Structure 1
């Protein structure tokens, strides 16, 4: 059965609905609780605005938010693509070279535990106030998950498959292209979906430190002016960017790896 038929069949739509109704119900519940808290005046409006007020500001300043959202999206996409490419290349080298892995892995771990917000001002000094520092921050935050997931995937190949390929005369390159990399794709996509959401955070963190555009700039300006409705609206837009990017990668995974996606979906048994 083709992937297109699987995606368009009633069973596929029912399966998708079964997966999303719980998070949708939770989101509706959170919004209802938020509205009740605002209506009961349990928290001052200037601290937590009501959902209606936040939505009204988002609609009134839609063009303003869209302009800055485009900047953050651009920085996120560039940073994510660079992190994905560099992460996969680093993982391949580490898998095929034990010396490189033993040398590079501790350095990557050390770099990962350093708070990125602490070194963000350095990138502003070195690269200025353009998109460069934001892209670098996105790369740094998104790089580690890609490396770890790809290394795990490349090492999870059945050794008997590798022995069989070697016995049949398959070279290292053909074995990688035909066996290792395809087997690592499920792990790679898992890392990519984590990395793309972190890339959004990295871009915004870079904008916090030094920028005159982007959602991070909007959040800082709204916070300084005690404009909490605009701040919440910017946070919601930021979350929406991450969700759309995550869903796009999830769809790409299902299209490129239907065998993996269908097997994973069938393995989950619903009891409630």
Structure 2
């Protein structure tokens, strides 16, 4: 039985992994051949082989800058998601908070991150705290909105059963409303992890002496396009990794929901 389950999981993982892997390999082959056949200048579009060479020759430095950006993104993601969960819960339970604060939060969320980042850097300084603050600012809104929607989307019949059973407000929250909100919560978390990487890198664009955003800006100024593309692709892989972690947690905690179809 255990071997059958392991084989099923391996087969499912393979079925999910091979389409993007095959597409990626095909894209890299076409990209490399096009750069060689058309003799495209590296400053316009470097070939994958040139990007890989930039990664291998600067592996230690890129690993250091990747670690900095990853720390900023993860820390900002955790802080922003925690704030979003608290605000979303408050909005779900208080119509006054929802009507009073939500319009201002929506307005703040429409401000481009490149505009708010310099202000936050002035407030928090040029160190890592400002990058984390920008990331948290960009990350909290999706979870706040999804948390509110999830907590408000409970089954009225189930709520009546809890009322008949004389359940306390805490029991209704932990045993009914929060479990029912988890699918919405994970949608918000998936958005947050991608925004966290964007927020960290954009903040590094504005003012930084380390991180992938710093690598991109210095490579751009020196026209080292293979190194710029290497940093950009590493940031994309980081976002994919974060997304896969949240998706794995979703399958673990919300496997009962129709949105998590294990047979696909």
Select which of 7, 22, 30 maps to 2:27. 30
Q: Does 1:132 align with 2:129?
A: yes
Partners of 2:180 and 2:259 lie apart in 1 by 16
2:139·2:196 contact (CA, 8 Å) conserved in 1?
yes
- How high is the TM-score relative to the length of structure 1? 0.91
Change (3 A) 1:159 1:29: same
Change (3 A) 1:51 1:8: farther
Partners of 2:127 and 2:192 lie apart in 1 by 23
Unaligned runs of 5+ in 1: none
Shift of 1:6: 10
Q: Which residue does 2:146 correspond to in 1?
A: 149
Partners of 1:8 and 1:125 lie apart in 2 by 54
1:69·1:214 contact (CA, 8 Å) conserved in 2?
yes
Q: Does 1:200 align with 2:197?
A: yes
Partners of 1:203 and 1:100 lie apart in 2 by 29
1:6·1:12 contact (CA, 8 Å) conserved in 2?
no
Partners of 1:263 and 1:211 lie apart in 2 by 40
Q: Which residue does 1:114 correspond to in 2?
A: 111
Shift of 1:21: 2.2
Unaligned runs of 5+ in 2: none
1:253·1:261 contact (CA, 8 Å) conserved in 2?
no
Post-superposition Cα deviations, 1:67-97, rounded to whole Å, max 9, x if no partner, equal: 1111101111110000111100000000000
- How high is the TM-score relative to the length of structure 2? 0.94
Select which of 70, 74, 82 maps to 1:73. 70
How big is the alpha-carbon RMSD for the aligned residues of Structure 1 and Structure 2?
1.9
